[in-house]
Amino acid sequence: MSNAAFSTLAEFRACLKAGPKLDSGSMKAAEARNGQLTKPPGALGRLEDIAIWYAGWRGTDRPSLDNPQIIIFAANHGVTAQGVSAFPAEVTAQMVLNFEHGGAAINQLADCFGAKLDVHALSLDTPTADFTKSPAMSEAEVVDALATGWKAVDPAADLLVTGEMGIGNTTSAAAILTALFGGDGSVWTGRGTGVDDTGLDNKTRVVNEGVTLHATSDPLEILRCLGGREIAAMAGAIARARSEGIPVILDGFICSSAAAVLHRVAPEALDHAIAGHLSAEGPHADVLSHLGKEPLLNLGMRLGEGSGAALAIGVLKGAIACHSGMATFAEAGVSDG
């Protein structure tokens, strides 16, 4: 694994803006191949679009998807002291053990689609600070979390999914999105693990207090002041994937908050990413709208762990299999009309 190419937020910002673009020649060649396959034009719908997009990032008109990587980042949040979650903070560490022992949904989905699964727990014994009282992280802490994500990506992977575990992180994600996109915290705050109406009102209060306290428009400062280590790590991993030409499937609400930080720094930073699914966490649809991403799946999922994006690996695998494996009209001896 490569060392991180940055040691400050300013250097990370520069890395993000300097990332490569897709191979337009390979994309055009993939479009040409798609037009010759034994099917009516457009008959496979979005499968055609995502296969061509994937080909552009992999630098070949006939790609394969053989080495997907799923990374789960776990961290704890000091803001849980405000009573924002229906579950205690101890659940984060308990679920990390469950991931490591193969007992979670993401383990089954990773096995199902042949993905390598890695789990990184970030300083679980040291939660971030309560962002209603002080910044969640120092610059050194957020840079360290970004670097953890960056270094966790396997350069040999040909697809990346990032997932998370962190009690309280829907509150952190809602605060990030409120600061990035504006509006009252009620617009971006959902029920997370299932808080009742009183709990939702409390979460909204906490989000508004945090955003008011840390009044900044700098996306990376928003991440530092309101985010969590696992959210920063996902941002670092998504950024590293782009630097390596590895396509990304984004997961749900919390992963999308990490992606939104990158998007606000440099909109092109998410050109290598597609949205795996629409989460049942209410504000997720609005996040994807801001990112210009249309989800592949809408199954009412809100588990996190990267589960929705992992399931979408199957959709992308199917798209690539059809694109690269189908015969052309000439090869099959079929009249193309």
Q: Give which of 201, 163, 168 is closest to 307, Cα–Cα.
A: 163
Separation CA 326–CA 311 (nearest Å): 23
Q: Give which of 82, 31, 107, 106 is closest to 304, Cα–Cα.
A: 106
State the residue for tokens 């949205």.
275
Separation CA 79–CA 98 (nearest Å): 24
Residue 73 · residue 148 · CB < 8 Å: yes
Query: What token pair was written down for 166?
Result: 């962190």
- SS3 label, residue 160: strand
Phi and psi angles of residue 283, each rounded to the nearest 5 degrees, phi first: -75, -5
* 281: Cβ contacts below 8 Å, ≥ 6 apart: 170, 190, 191, 192, 252, 253, 302
Q: Which helix (H) or strand (E) holds 117?
A: strand 116-121
Separation CA 5–CA 307 (nearest Å): 29
305 is catalytic: yes
Query: Which amino acid is it at 279?
Result: S
For 38, 105, 295, 312, 313, the CA distances from 109, given in Å and listed in that order, are: 31, 6, 18, 10, 9
Of the candidates 31, 294, 305, 331, the residue annotated as catalytic is 305
DSSP letters along 130-143, please?
A: -TTTS-SS-HHHHH
Residues annotated catalytic, as ranges: 305
